[in-house]
Structure 1
Amino acid sequence: MVVNAAQFKASVSAAAPPPQLNAPLAALWWAAKGSWDQAHKIVQDEESSEAAWVHAYLHRIEGDLGNATYWYRRAGKSVANGSLEAEWEAIASTLLGSGRA
């Protein structure tokens, strides 16, 4: 069971995400595995602000900053300008800290 960011990060070495993850965290997990398409499929139809944040991050990875900006706005977040790794860590920590894994 994943209960914190360190455990979540360590779980990326597995073949599949932990089954108890919600959609935004599962998408973030797949993004860490380099599976952008799988991650995008998970969040593209989700309506939560958490999913929108992960969606923004995915479009930032893709290099589509216009689309990313739209999704950051939907998430109620400022456009990220740090490293992708730092943003991944911030999203994971925030989502896991919300108790909504």
Structure 2
Amino acid sequence: MAHHLSEALDALQAGQWDRAHSIVQSDASADAAWIHAHLHRIEGDEGNAAYWYRRAGRPAARGSLDEERQAIVHSLTQH
């Protein structure tokens, strides 16, 4: 996993939504877009989340936020 994406996930885990958002906002990768979508889902902004899921090339998540966060971590550690 790219260091800055790990840093974004750590910030999110620490409750630092703005910091996590700032990190992924400056990255055009599909992985960052997935985290970005997840962040907007946490925020309750489903429309913005849908945009970022499309950018990530992923369907919108339907499970719990914790399940999605675990899926993100698992996927990114497999790269």
TM range (shorter): over 0.9
Query: Given the two structures, how large is their TM-score scaled by the length of structure 2?
Result: 0.94
Structure 1 match to 2:69: 88
Tell me which stretches of 4 or more aligned residues in structure 1 moved more than 4 Å. none
| Structure 2 gap segments, 5+ residues each | none
Percentage of pairs with the same residue: 52
| Structure 1 gap segments, 5+ residues each | 1-19
Deviations 1:44-97 (A, max 9, x none): 121100000000000000000000000000000000010000000000000011
Mark the structure with the bigger radius of gyration.
Answer: 1
Query: Given the two structures, how large is their TM-score scaled by the length of structure 1?
Result: 0.74
- Alignment RMSD, CA only? 1.3
1:20-99 equivalence runs, <5 A: 21-98=2-79
Q: Between Structure 1 and Structure 2, which shows a larger proportion of helix residues?
A: 2
Count residues in correspondence.
Answer: 79
